[in-house]
Each structure stands twice: as C-alpha cells, then as structure tokens.
Structure 1
Amino acid sequence: MPSSYPLSEVEKSFQKEAGQGHNSTLIPYLTVDNFPKLGLMTACRFLEWAAANPEGVISLPTGKTPEFFIKWTQFLLENWDTEKGKEIRSKYGLTSVKKPKLEGLHFVQIDEFYPISSRQKNSFFHYVNKFYIDGFGLDPKKALLINSDEIPLAEGRNFHQVFPDLKVDLSLRFREPATKLEKIQQESIYLIDKWCGEYEQKIRDKGGIGFFLGGIGPDGHIAFNTRGSHLFSTTRLTETNFETQAVAAGDLGGIEVSANRLVITIGLDTIVYNPEAVGIIIAAGEAKAQIVKDSLETPMTNLYPATVLQKLKNGRFYMTKGAASKLTDSLDNYYKQGDWTQEKTEKSIIDLCKKLGKYGHRLTLEDLKADKYTSMIPNVSEETVKEVMDSILAKINRGTTKEKNEVLLHTGPHHDDISLGILPHITTQLQENTNEAHFSVLTSGFTAVTNTFVINTLTQTKQLLDEGRIQMVKYEDFYTSGFKIKTDKDVYQYLTNVASEDPEESLRGLCHRVVRALVEIYKVENTAGLRETINEVISILRNSYDGEKNPAKIQKLKGMIREFEEELVWAHFGVQVKNVHHLRLGFYTGDIFTEQPEKKRDVEPIVEMFRKIQPTKISLTLDPEGSGPDTHYKVLQATAEAVRVWSEEKDLKDLKIIGYRNVWFKFEPAECNVIVPVSLGDMAVMEDSFANCYLSQVNASFPSYAHNGKFSTIAKRTWVSQLNDIQLLLGKNYFYLHETAKVRSSHGLIFFKEMNVKEFLEHARELEKSIEGML
C-alpha cells in the first residue's frame, strides 16, 4: 500500500495476515478469505476509529451486506475483556485500544426508499433504529434520520394523500402540472428537495461524515448514487436504474414495487466532504469482481461512483479475495506466490487465448514468452498449450462418461438452484435405469413468492371450489386423511395439461395442491372452513405491505407452493413425488439476518436423509467465500456438518461430492475438473421446464441485476459463454466434427468440481472457522 496512505493498527494486522504487498490501485484495499471474516475486519476498524473519535459522525450501511459487521461489532463490545475477546483484539490490533463508548457518536442515515412508512419493517429507517440505534446503543437524539412520514408535504398532507399510488413523477420539477393533484405533487416535490438540502446542511454543520461504511452495487452504486451520478452530488430525491431496482426487489417485495419507488440518498460529495474521513467500501464475492476492478483501477469518473473515494487519504476497499480476483494486483499475486500449479498453467493459457483472440493451436512460443503470465510457466514450450488442451479434454471426457448404478442425491439451497446449475447433467443420469435419483431443496423458499401471486392463486382456487371443480373435497375422508394421498396426481394433472396446452386445467392442478396445503396447515375440517381460510389468507395478504414478513402459516403455504413447483420440474423426467425431499431447515425464517444453522434443528434432518437414501453421489451449490445469498453458505455449513456426522457412522471413502455453481457464480475452466456438454435441446428443456413449472418466478419479481427476466436465461447465457472460452482453446472443429453426438451438439458447457469427502470437508472447514466463537 502506498506510503501516502498510512494504515491503522487494525489494517496492519489484517494486511499482515493476508500477506498482501503493495497496492497498485488508485484506492488502497485489504482482502480476507470470506464474507464472515470481512465483517470481522470492518468491525475491528470501526471500533478502533470509534475509540479515537468518541463523538464522531458515522454513516453505516443497511441490507444484508453488513450482517457480520453488525454481529462482530456486538460480539466484541459484549466480550471485550473475555478470553475470546482479548484473543481477537490481540490478533487484530486492538490490544491497546480502550473499549469504545458508542453513545457519543452522531449517526447519519445513508439513504431510504421514498415514499415508505417508517413503521414498515423493510424501511431503512426501521433497520437503522433496530440494528444501529438500539443494537449499538447509540443516542437517538444525535441521529440524523430519513423518516418519510415526517418530511413536510404540500398543505400538510401525508405521502399517501399526495402520492396515492406511491409513485413520484419527477418530471413535475420541470413541467406544468396537468391536474390539481399534480399541482400538489409538484409543490410537495419542491418541499422534499428543500428538506434534502437541509439534511445535507445538517451533515456539513457536523463537519461531515467521519466514518463512512457502505456496500457497492452491481452497477457500482454507493448509497443510491447509481452509475452516472455527479461526483459533486449531494443529498437528493432521485430515480434508480434497473440493477439497483433488482437488488432492492428483495426488500420491497418484488421488482414491480422497486421499479416504481424513488430514493432519498446522500450524495458522493456528502461522503467525501470531510477530507479526514475514513471511507470504506465492502465487497464480497466473484460477482462483484469486475465492478471492483473498474472502481479501483479507473481514474475518478461518474461512470464508477466509488472512484470518488480517491479524494480521501483514508478511503479504502475491504473485500473478499473473490471480489478482488480481477484486480491486476490479485492476478500478479496469484501467479507469483506459492508453487506453480497445473491450474495456473491452464488459467494463463486460456486467458491468453481470450486476450489475443487466438485459437489454442495458433498460439506460438513467442506468444507464450511475450505474455506477462504464460511466460512464468516453468519450462514453457510448444508442448505447453497441447498439455492444457489435453487436460481440458480429460475434463470433457469425465463429463460425457455414462454413470451407472449410482444413488444420486441432488441438493440446493433454494428451489430452482439444482435445475439452473446442472440440469443437463442430471437428465443424462436419469436416462440410465440403473441410477436412482433423489432431489432435495433444503429451505422452504417462501420469500421468493409474492403476495400477489398467492392472492391470485387463492382467488382462482375459490372460484374452482364454487364451480364444483375440485372434486376431491367431496370424498368423505378428505379432510381427515385423504388430503395426504395422491399428491402425484396433482403433478400429473398439471403437466398433462401443459402438454395439452390447456393453461386453465393446468392451473387446476396447482389449486388442488394449494387446497391440500391449506387443509394441512390450518387443520381445515370441511369445505365451509376451507372457504373461510382462503378468505382469511387473502385478507391478511391484501392488508400487508409488499416485503412484509408473513405470519408463519402463510410462510409455510408459500413454501409448499415452491415445493410443488420443484416436484413439477423433476416429474418432467419421471421422478415421483416421494423422491423429492423438502427439508425446510429451521434457520430460514424470512428475517433480514437468518440464524446460523443448529445441529439438532438443521443438521440432523440432513443426516437422516443421508441414512435413508444412502447416496453414492451428493451435489450441492459451492460458494467458496460465503459471499452469495446468506442461505447458500448456511446450507453449505449444515450440509458439511451432516456429511461429517454421517462419516462417523459409515465409511464414505467412495462417496463423491459434486460442487456446482448457480446463476450468481461460475467456475473458471481451470477451477473445475468436470465439463459437461450442453445441447440446444438441453437448453430448451431447461427454459421450458422453468417457464412451465416455476410459476411464482416466471414473471421475475426478484430478478438478477444481470438480466430483466427469468433466471433460466442467465443460466443459458453462462453455459454459452463457457463454451466460447473452451472453443477458443480447443477450436470449433473439435466440437462440430467430434465422433460422438453428445459433443457435436454442444452449444454450451457446464463446469463443476467433483471432490471426495475429505476434500469437501476441508473446503467447508475454512468457512466454518471464520465465524467460530462469535455465535
């Protein structure tokens, strides 16, 4: 790190542990191994600063990103003088720091949706009060907060009266109002602008922000300063872009809401107004790697808002190694540090093909020696490229080898993860009759189902009941035991009518399953009670705000809808309902921060499933840093512990673990050891099954920031992109002239990593160690 950017004692400790050298970036940075460790580093630096600035001005982030920052801060404050607390403080530069008292700090809220009631639990106002004001013991009288309910509007009205559809048309700033309501809205917008200016002035009157901590969005946004925001921007009411709306969809109950909601945000100049400020951006995971590179290696520009931190001598990025993986520094360190490996050779050769736009067989020895990284390959020669090509061919051969006599257990954290990750590989396995396949989604997945979807489904169910078209309720024993049987019939009813192109009859299959779920959840005893229950659920949902945490029974109903969707997907290939296992692990609660997995509640059900199925291969989503949706690494922890427990009961030397990536992350060709060809037919099956079965997701209420549409489209694009990389190495001829149809039909590739139990447990152990002792 440049000498002009001196490190604090905490930063020196983490830099020493990471073994980092000089940063060549325009903003200094520090890296750690995983997401939980990122929270520890940030918490230590915050407490170090707070101890030195007991009456300083702080601005801290909202959302899921600061989960471990919040938990580690609270842990250290509560355990400052315990043995564990002293151990952590000694290791990370806090030995000589006196325990800080946070009640003297002045808090500044970074941003807020507008309009949104401060009473809503998905408002940032509520978040700040819960996790920072109350959670850190801050003084509410010293806090500058953004409360939509208290921002003055025209004629003393509230925002529901001024903006009855909760939409704010900012064009009224510049045009004549067309109606009386628009005139009131225009006057209100000017009043909000005035309030924002006053908020900005209050921050500056305090001397500006002294400690700023924020995340970075997929487009590079800091706070809600999206790509293109002026570097001298201040607090304002503004619109957002699609990437930001997609990220906010989870908070607001769907893209339908977030796309129409404005935001109030402090500006980029607000963040750097105090030249002595500590400004930290935290970033986790490979999905952030490109925007991190652009933000750290590009001179100051409005295209990358985080570049504004170049103005601060104490501006920093704290990141996981995955988020830093595309930095020039990281690539240099990757190749220069440690022993040279086959993985390094493969990565450097494949990347050189892409850099030069040359096929592998056309790379010359001069090309290899001229490149920064391939020139480092030991004994580099004309044979080096061929050796890499042979290695990749071996991976493809493993991906095309027919598996027999396997008991396969495919698992996923969420519904659709398995399908989006490795469906073409699974369909090949299912074509072999000696294989037995099971599927298990480990969480209920209810947060992905919108209130609107459930209301519409229940309304349709009620109509079918009134028309006498749900005949099973007429059977004498239906409400006592009949609702539990013939669940395969609902699946068959649905898919048969998909084939017949009769959407109305297909929907009847879903409504059948919803009736069964309602009877089970609400202990319904008769058809009259069923109607009452439907009306009650509809009423609760209509009176709930979007994004609100549902009552437990409605969560379960939403989860059972998702479970039915998963059964539909695998029924495409003849898999019976009994082979689709719904674990509903208890840590998944719908709260902003879910609990850590517990052995009895979350691990034992997985172990019991292993005992029952006796799999020879287990697939799972592999999140190397714990940086994806929090469900991913918590499921990974629970699964790893279950494998460990099972290994104490049974010799698992022959058990294979398949680690795959979902739409959030992807393997580099050099990282994986199995490559599976994907045909256009495979892609069509995946997209078709997604559209026909994942009914609650087909409208993409919670889309990826990378695509305004279905996740299946992203998966397909990933597979195609991976083929392009390998085609550049092997040449197109290898594929379309191959002796087997499976390879000739390749229009995409899937990468995954096969491990034995020892390798998998070692991998998972690194993540587990990072949060030991905290919880």
Structure 2
Amino acid sequence: MLSNYPLSDVEKAFQAESGITSINSKIPYLTVDNFPKLGLITACRFLEWAAENPQGVISLPTGKTPEYFIKWSQYLLENWESKRGKEIREKYNLGKTKKPVLSELTFVQIDEFYPISSKQNNSFFHYVNKFYLEGFGLSKEKAILINSDEIPLAGGKHYKEIFPDLKVDLSLRFRDPLNPLEKMQQESIYLIDQWCAEYEQRIRDLGGIGFFLGGIGPDGHIAFNTRGSHLFSPTRLTETNFETQAVAAGDLGGIEVSANRLVITIGLETITYNKEGVAIIIAAGEAKAQIVKDSLESNLSNVYPATALQKLKNGRFYLTKGAAVRLTDSVDNYYKAGEWTWEKTERSVIELCKKLGKYGHRLKLEDLKNDKYTSLIPNLSEDTVNQVMQSTVEKINKGTSKEKNEVILHTGPHHDDISLGILPHITNQLQENTNEAHFSVLTSGFTAVTNTFVIDTLLHTKKLLDEGQIQMVHYDDFFEIGYKLKTDKDVYHYLTKVAAEDTEGRMRGLCHRVVRALVEIFEVKNKQKLRETINDVISILRNSYDGEKNPSKIQKLKGMIREFEEELVWAHFGVQVKNVHHLRLGFYTGDIFTEQPDKKRDVEPIVDMFRRVNPTKISLTLDPEGSGPDTHYKVLQATAEAVRQWGEEKDLSELRIIGYRNVWFKFEPHEANVIVPVSLGDMSVMEDSFANCYLSQVNASFPSYSHNGKFSTVAKRVWVSQLNDIQLLLGKNYFYLHDTAKVRSSHGLIFFKDMNVEEFLAHARELEKSIEGML
C-alpha cells in the first residue's frame, strides 16, 4: 500500500490526482498522464526538497529526458508569486512553501564521457554548467564536476597526448604495457582511478547525495551503471554496453564514436549512500515500459541496476502512464477499471494464448475461467475464443482488400519512417493504377547524417569534377537554372546503376545531386566557386568535433542528401520527384531541446500541402505520448492541428487517417484494426531499397538500441514477431492453407489503425492536453 511509504506533500497531491490507491512493486512509483507533466511533478518535488534542504547535495540528469523538469523548475522559480505560479503551487501542496534559494546547494555531476573536451557543447560538463549552474543559479564554487581536461594524467600531459586516438584500453589495469606510450597510458589510468576515488570521497564527506534525479536506459542503466554493474559500485572509469552506446550515439556524433568512448560515472552505492536521500528515476513512454516493469518488480539484482533504489525509503519512480503500462498494477487496473470493452476481450485472450503457449483453437473454457483476466469477460462461453479469432480474421481481410481511386498522402517525421512502418502496404496500393500516391517527410532529418559521410561524399564529388564526369556543370545555364532541372533523371540514373550493380555509377548519381544542392544552398555561380565551396564545407566539418551542431547551410545540405534518399525509395515504384514533398518544419533545429510546433510556422505548410494534394487518405506515425524520438510526437501534434484547420474549410467526412508505427513502438494486436500480410518478397524489397537508397544510414551510425545494424532489419523483426502473436491465436494452418496467395505467403504482419477524422482528432486532443499550460 502507498500508505506504507513516506510520501511528501507534493507526492501526496500527485498521487491523489493519479487515482492510484495501492501498489505492488518493490519500489514505490507515481504516474502522470504525459511527458510534460512528468517534468512538473519532478520540478515540484525538487523545489519542495530544496526549500527544506537549502544547503543540500543534489545530482541532476543530462540529455533530453529532463527538458520539462528544467523548464518547469525555472518557470516556478520565476513565477512563484504570480497568479499562475500560485495556482500550480496550491494545487500540488507547495502553497505554504517558502520560495527556495538554490545558490547554496552543492551540485554533483552524475557522469561524463571520457575523454571529451569540457569545451564541447555535447559534453555533460557543458550541459550542467549551462542548464543547472547558470540556469538554476547554483554555486560554481561548491559544484563537484567531471572535467576531462583537468583530470591529472602521467607527466602532467593532456589526454590528447596520452590517448591520441581518444581510446582508453582498460586491459592495461591488469597487463604489462607493450611500449612507452602504453606505459604512460597505464599510469594515467591508475591516476584516473585515483581521481574517481577522491571524487567519491568528496561526495561521502558531505554525507552523500540528498536529492538524486536520473533517467533509465533501455538496458536499465542508471547514470552509466549499465546492466551487470555491482550494486555497491562507486564512482569509476568504465566501459559501456551496446544499448548505452546506441543511446549516446546522438550526443557523440555516431556509434563509431560512442562505441570507443569510456565513461566516468557515479556508482549505485554513490546514489544510495545517504540512506535519508531522495532518489527519483523518471521514465516516459511505452518504449521504457518493459525495463520499468523489470526494475520495479524484481528483487535487488545487478541485471536491473535501478533495483538499487530498494535500499532507500525515499527511492521513487515517476512515470508516465505509457512507461507504467506493463506494470502488474497497470494491467490489473486496465482490466478491472471502467466498462469492459471488446479490446479487453481480444487482449486477454491473445495474452492467454501466449501465457499458456496454446493455439487459440486449443484453449478450453476452463482455461479462460482459470485466468484472472479472461475470467472477467462478460458472457464467457465456448464461443468466446472463436469470436476473437473471427475479429482478427476481419482485420486481415481489411488488410488484403483492394484499394481503388484513392489519393493517398503518406507522411513521416523522419526519412525512412514511412518505409519502415508500412512499405508492404504501400506496394499493394501502388500496384493499382487508379491510386495516386504522395509522400512527405515533415522534417529535414539532417541530424542523422554524419560529418564523415558528407566529407567522403564531397571528396568523391571533387574527384568526379576533376575527371570531367559531372558534365552538367559545363552547360551554359547550369548555375542559373539548370541545377533545378532533370531531378527525375538523377533518380532514374541512380537506380539504373543499382540495377547494374555499378557501385561507382551509383556514387556518381549521389554526387550529381550533391552538386545541385551546393549550388542552391550556397548560391554558387560558377565552377571555380563550386570547388571553393566544396573545400570550405570539408574544412568546416574536419574542424568540427563529432556531435557538434553544424552551421545552418550545412544542416540544409545534410537534409537535402536525406531528401534525395527518400526520392530514390519511392522511385522504385515509379513515383516522380514532384510527388515527394519535403516540408522541413522549423521546430526541427538540432538543438538539445527542440521547440514545440508553431501553428503558423509548422502547421500552415502542412495545411497547404493538404490543399494541393487533396488526399482521400493520410498516413502518419501514431506513437504514444511524448517520448522516444520526440520529433515523432511533435510532428503528430502539428499534423493533427493541420487536419483540424483543413476541416474548417473542407468536408472531411470521407477522409481516412492511417496511424502506423515502426521500429520505436509497435501496436499490440488489440490496438490495431487492420492487419496486412508481409511476404518474404516484401521484406526483401524493404531491405534492398533501404540498403541501396539510404546510403547515409546503411552503416547505422545512430542505430536502434535493440540491434547493431540497419533499421530495416529491426522493422522486419517487428513484423515477424507480430505474425507470431497472430499465428498463436489463429494457428499456422490458417496462413499456409489460406485461399489467397497473399495470406499464404505471410511471414510477417503489419498492424495499423484506420480512423476517421473525428476518431483521429479525439486521439489528438489527448496529445494537446499534454502541452496545455506549457511555457
């Protein structure tokens, strides 16, 4: 019961708002509706604690997770006595709290990559200085920070001299060095270890951390205490695992960098040393749901580092409902609260099949009666499972029905999202000549292109120019108008070389498009200026550190490379360049915290596209709440507002909205109302088009934490796992003995949600609530 835990006044207010009256996890937790609200509860609890502990020791997180914590903390401090500020404080039991003064708090940096220059904007040292020491007005003198530039090394040398390739070989702790450089490296590693011990002692001398706030990684890591970390681990220099490297790739400019970078992190014992301390883990989104369940419902275990919070009476998890969705409490509440729906019947029966490992037709009525969830089904009978099976068959029938005379606009937040989400469904649509298809990626996507890829491409472009193999630059009108023409020819040339297995010819096709982009972006007027521009861009990128925010023109160049890749994918099916729309919404800036979509800047371009295309169907990513790639969430907000505005000037009663998901989230069978069979041929088309067209992504510099490789492989695995769920319900013979070849050839399934506008906007209104009152 929650009453067994010492809730603070703020926690009591949020607990009452959540409606949760009891919990059955090893660590207490509180839930809120959405990502921004997660920031509010955390900010309120922090300010409550800071008011009570004005000279306390705090440790706060870096990255994107604490965005709304930082914004709400600053807002409340700046508006403590304003009408809005007072309303929030009264609502969450801060009404009688004196405004906290943060300047006497001691800040402890949680972790840092090693080695990394403290001057780099993507170092955590820079982050904590910008957002916490300066942003919160904390004491720089008292702060205990991790500055790679100042950690003593052998001979008083800088890490660039000791570790010239920025790689630290920890095996030198235990083996003899092979040369003088390794001897210095070994001595330096021992010095770093000593520095870490002293860092730990400084924290303990203060009594430990009084208020700790952290996120949780996909493997369950807290700070950089990855899966397998000792539950009594101190501050240390250590390696990371693949999941952590994949998450860090965005900060460091690619997995190539993060895989070779060590970290300095406080340990699990550092976090729990102060037994009176408050330690809070925040998690948002269904992508975190399984690791949250494992961390909250498992005994103390080094497999789940967050279980260390069981040592603290004030250890907590603050979760969005999405992150809490797999907790036993949440599942119980799902089935027992409110009216019983058909979705609940579908979910409980399919889950029972998985739980018992039985095909649907082999489930007995007794099995259903003995299960705590299926036993709740109203009018439970011998026919219940057959009804669920028939309902699922109807979803497959919808997914195999022929669409005709449709104008379909497929949209995605990033390049490759559409392909990874529903490519096999799109190929079905494009095989019907009466359908007209359009594709639109709503952001530039430049952050997914590494500096190395651009440098290599530009060097190859220079080589081809020198060899006279980019002939278009010699045409008289090329630098005035010619660079804008024949873009379809570029695409056709490229794909012809793909078919011919001509790698060099394919590269030449990319370089052609890069030349067009350079002329447009940099307003190049002649061949000499083109060469100078190429050299300038190469120089800028070579002098940038990995992960550094690029100048806007180079961002645009990277974005246009991604746009070319998207055009190539749809040209596989004869879609012309004019039907691939690049919106480049303005909220996408490459900053650590991107802006909320703006109704004028970000919504009007989408409405204009709707007017031009006049679609009868619109597809979009339907990810839950604001988490995971937050671009997905923000694009969905902007698209929903655009549909709403378009509906004010046009009757949209016949418009259908197709909500899909891809590698970041997936629908459960009961959530989807359309199921599309996927053949091995469909999978091959997706894998081949991804490998041949998304050149900047083939080496997966920013991979999914679930797979060290191409996103197309992750998507394929999702489709296969979805087939496994449905096969367990319907039986394998339903598929391989089916009347139609499309179903017989199924080796994967796609789930999506087909909605009318009213249903979609009802879903969108829930999203809208999540940013009400935000800054």
TM-score of the alignment, normalized to the shorter chain, above 0.5? yes
Residue 773 of structure 1 and its aligned partner are, at CA, apart by 2.2
1:716 corresponds in structure 2 to 716
1:623 corresponds in structure 2 to 623
AA of the residue aligned to 1:375:
S
Residue 138 of structure 1 and its aligned partner are, at CA, apart by 1.0
Describe the SS at the equivalent of 1:102: coil
Residue 31 of structure 1 and its aligned partner are, at CA, apart by 1.1
- CA distance in 2 between counterparts of 1:46 and 1:59 reads 11
Structure 1 gaps, min length 5: none
1:197 corresponds in structure 2 to 197
Q: Given the alignment of the two structures, is residue 611 of structure 1 paired with residue 599 of structure 2, yes or no?
A: no
AA of the residue aligned to 2:586:
G
Residue 79 of structure 1 and its aligned partner are, at CA, apart by 1.9
AA of the residue aligned to 1:569:
V
Describe the SS at the equivalent of 1:648: coil
Preserved contact between residue 439 and residue 580 of structure 1 (Cα < 8 Å) = yes
Preserved contact between residue 286 and residue 624 of structure 2 (Cα < 8 Å) = no
1:338 corresponds in structure 2 to 338
CA offset digits 1:171-208 (Å, max 9, x no partner): 11111111111111111111111110010000011111
Moved more, 495-504 or 759-768: 759-768
1:503 corresponds in structure 2 to 503
AA of the residue aligned to 1:717:
R
Moved more, 719-728 or 87-96: 87-96
- CA distance in 2 between counterparts of 1:94 and 1:662 reads 41
Q: Given the alignment of the two structures, is residue 588 of structure 1 paired with residue 588 of structure 2, yes or no?
A: yes
Question: What is the TM-score normalised by the length of structure 1?
Answer: 0.99
Residue 500 of structure 1 and its aligned partner are, at CA, apart by 0.4
Describe the SS at the equivalent of 2:30: strand
Write the mapping of 1:540-689 to structure 2, written as runs, cut at 5 A: 540-689=540-689
1:169 corresponds in structure 2 to 169
Residue 69 of structure 1 and its aligned partner are, at CA, apart by 1.0
- CA distance in 2 between counterparts of 1:521 and 1:7 reads 57
1:467 corresponds in structure 2 to 467
Q: Given the alignment of the two structures, is residue 240 of structure 1 paired with residue 240 of structure 2, yes or no?
A: yes
Preserved contact between residue 222 and residue 305 of structure 2 (Cα < 8 Å) = yes
AA of the residue aligned to 1:687:
E
AA of the residue aligned to 2:483:
F
Describe the SS at the equivalent of 1:14: helix
- CA distance in 2 between counterparts of 1:206 and 1:421 reads 51
Residue 16 of structure 1 and its aligned partner are, at CA, apart by 1.5
Preserved contact between residue 237 and residue 262 of structure 2 (Cα < 8 Å) = yes
- CA distance in 1 between counterparts of 2:721 and 2:13 reads 40
AA of the residue aligned to 1:226:
T
2:155 corresponds in structure 1 to 155
- CA distance in 2 between counterparts of 1:161 and 1:767 reads 51
Preserved contact between residue 133 and residue 139 of structure 2 (Cα < 8 Å) = yes
Write the mapping of 1:41-56 to structure 2, written as runs, cut at 5 A: 41-56=41-56
CA offset digits 1:47-81 (Å, max 9, x no partner): 11111111111100111111111111112222222
1:531 corresponds in structure 2 to 531
Residue 390 of structure 1 and its aligned partner are, at CA, apart by 1.1
- CA distance in 1 between counterparts of 2:67 and 2:688 reads 37
CA offset digits 1:403-422 (Å, max 9, x no partner): 11111110000000000000
- CA distance in 1 between counterparts of 2:478 and 2:689 reads 31
Preserved contact between residue 173 and residue 189 of structure 2 (Cα < 8 Å) = yes
- CA distance in 2 between counterparts of 1:357 and 1:532 reads 65
Write the mapping of 1:200-279 to structure 2, written as runs, cut at 5 A: 200-279=200-279
1:308 corresponds in structure 2 to 308
- CA distance in 2 between counterparts of 1:203 and 1:549 reads 34
Residue 666 of structure 1 and its aligned partner are, at CA, apart by 0.3
Preserved contact between residue 300 and residue 307 of structure 1 (Cα < 8 Å) = yes
- CA distance in 2 between counterparts of 1:391 and 1:586 reads 43
Residue 602 of structure 1 and its aligned partner are, at CA, apart by 0.6
- CA distance in 2 between counterparts of 1:71 and 1:683 reads 43
Describe the SS at the equivalent of 2:676: strand
- CA distance in 1 between counterparts of 2:250 and 2:134 reads 24
1:35 corresponds in structure 2 to 35
Describe the SS at the equivalent of 2:299: coil
2:518 corresponds in structure 1 to 518
1:325 corresponds in structure 2 to 325
- CA distance in 1 between counterparts of 2:74 and 2:645 reads 31
Q: Given the alignment of the two structures, is residue 69 of structure 1 paired with residue 46 of structure 2, yes or no?
A: no
1:119 corresponds in structure 2 to 119
1:771 corresponds in structure 2 to 771
Preserved contact between residue 2 and residue 21 of structure 2 (Cα < 8 Å) = no
Describe the SS at the equivalent of 1:121: coil
2:181 corresponds in structure 1 to 181
Residue 373 of structure 1 and its aligned partner are, at CA, apart by 0.6
Residue 139 of structure 1 and its aligned partner are, at CA, apart by 1.3
- CA distance in 2 between counterparts of 1:233 and 1:4 reads 29
Residue 44 of structure 1 and its aligned partner are, at CA, apart by 1.2
- CA distance in 2 between counterparts of 1:591 and 1:648 reads 34
- CA distance in 1 between counterparts of 2:104 and 2:765 reads 39
1:295 corresponds in structure 2 to 295
**Percent identity of the aligned residues?**
82
- CA distance in 2 between counterparts of 1:106 and 1:572 reads 58
Q: Given the alignment of the two structures, is residue 399 of structure 1 paired with residue 399 of structure 2, yes or no?
A: yes
Residue 770 of structure 1 and its aligned partner are, at CA, apart by 2.1
- CA distance in 2 between counterparts of 1:448 and 1:376 reads 47
Moved more, 112-121 or 282-291: 282-291
Preserved contact between residue 4 and residue 313 of structure 1 (Cα < 8 Å) = no
Residue 270 of structure 1 and its aligned partner are, at CA, apart by 0.2
Describe the SS at the equivalent of 1:10: helix
Describe the SS at the equivalent of 1:209: coil
- CA distance in 1 between counterparts of 2:398 and 2:21 reads 39
- CA distance in 2 between counterparts of 1:398 and 1:590 reads 40
Moved more, 463-472 or 101-110: 101-110
1:358 corresponds in structure 2 to 358
Write the mapping of 1:720-735 to structure 2, written as runs, cut at 5 A: 720-735=720-735
- CA distance in 1 between counterparts of 2:686 and 2:770 reads 36
2:380 corresponds in structure 1 to 380
Residue 354 of structure 1 and its aligned partner are, at CA, apart by 0.3
Describe the SS at the equivalent of 1:438: strand
CA offset digits 1:687-723 (Å, max 9, x no partner): 1100000000000110011000000001000000000
Structure 2 gaps, min length 5: none
Residue 3 of structure 1 and its aligned partner are, at CA, apart by 3.0
Residue 42 of structure 1 and its aligned partner are, at CA, apart by 1.1
- CA distance in 1 between counterparts of 2:764 and 2:88 reads 22
CA offset digits 1:732-757 (Å, max 9, x no partner): 11111111111111110001111111
- CA distance in 2 between counterparts of 1:519 and 1:526 reads 9
Describe the SS at the equivalent of 1:411: strand
- CA distance in 1 between counterparts of 2:362 and 2:497 reads 53
Q: Given the alignment of the two structures, is residue 105 of structure 1 paired with residue 69 of structure 2, yes or no?
A: no
CA offset digits 1:349-403 (Å, max 9, x no partner): 0000000010001000000000111011111111110111111111111111111
CA offset digits 1:150-179 (Å, max 9, x no partner): 101111100001100000011111111111
Residue 774 of structure 1 and its aligned partner are, at CA, apart by 2.0
- CA distance in 1 between counterparts of 2:173 and 2:354 reads 48
Residue 93 of structure 1 and its aligned partner are, at CA, apart by 2.1
1:485 corresponds in structure 2 to 485
AA of the residue aligned to 1:447:
T
AA of the residue aligned to 2:270:
T
1:752 corresponds in structure 2 to 752
Moved more, 81-90 or 434-443: 81-90
- CA distance in 2 between counterparts of 1:90 and 1:432 reads 60
AA of the residue aligned to 1:466:
D
Residue 2 of structure 1 and its aligned partner are, at CA, apart by 3.7
- CA distance in 2 between counterparts of 1:489 and 1:770 reads 45
AA of the residue aligned to 2:529:
G
- CA distance in 2 between counterparts of 1:13 and 1:607 reads 41
Preserved contact between residue 121 and residue 127 of structure 1 (Cα < 8 Å) = yes
2:130 corresponds in structure 1 to 130
CA offset digits 1:582-620 (Å, max 9, x no partner): 000011001001111111111111111011111111111
Preserved contact between residue 84 and residue 773 of structure 1 (Cα < 8 Å) = no
- CA distance in 2 between counterparts of 1:628 and 1:34 reads 13
Calculate the aligned-residue CA RMSD, in Å. Answer: 0.9
AA of the residue aligned to 1:722:
Q
